[in-house]
Structure 1
C-alpha cells in the first residue's frame, strides 16, 4: 500500500520504510514501538502517528492534509 501511495504522490512527498530491528536508534528517536508504526512528518515534526496497520482512508487523509498544508 505505501509503495502505491508513494508512486501516486511522487514529487509531493517522500515515503521511507525503516525496519525497527535494523535501525533501533531511529525507532527509539520516533518512539516507534513496532515495525508497523506509521509516522507522518512535516519538516522534522511528527504530525500524525498510527501504530499497527493503518486503514487506507486514515493514510489518505493524513497525507492529503499534510501535502495541502
Structure 2
C-alpha cells in the first residue's frame, strides 16, 4: 500500500493536527537510501496501522517543512504526536531496528 504524501499545504493538518502518532519520511528523489526504505515503511504502515500513520514528504519540493525541523540529511524519519516531535532518526535503518525504536517511542504516547 503506497504511503500518503503530505506537502507544505497539508502538513500542519495531516501531521500536527492528527489525533494519533504520525511517522513522517522526509525524502528526496535523488537519494538512493530514501528509495530503499520505502518498502520497509509501507510494511510498517500496515503492521502498525492500529497505532500510527506513516506519510512521506518530498523535501526538495517542500523546503519549508524540512527547514522548520532542521532536516539536514535524507532520509530523515520523524515521529509526531499531538503536534510535537517525539522521536527522529537520520538514515535508512533495518525494519527490526525501526520497529523496536518506534514501539519504544510509541510507549510515551499512551
Q: TM-score, normalised to structure 1's length?
A: 0.80
Deviating 4+ runs (over 4 angstroms): none
Looking at structure 2, the residues matched to 62 and 45 of structure 1 have their Cα atoms a distance apart, in angstroms, of: 17
Question: Which has the bigger relative contact order, CA under 8 A and spacing at least 6?
Answer: 2
Structure 2 alignment gaps of length 5 or more: 1-39
Question: Hey, which of these two has a bigger chunk of strand by percent?
Answer: 2
Query: Could you tell me the TM-score, scaled by structure 2's length?
Result: 0.55
1:34 is the counterpart of 2:73: yes
Corresponding residue SS for 2:66: helix
Number of equivalent positions: 69
What residue is the counterpart of 1:3 in the other structure?
42
| Alignment RMSD (CA, Å) | 1.6
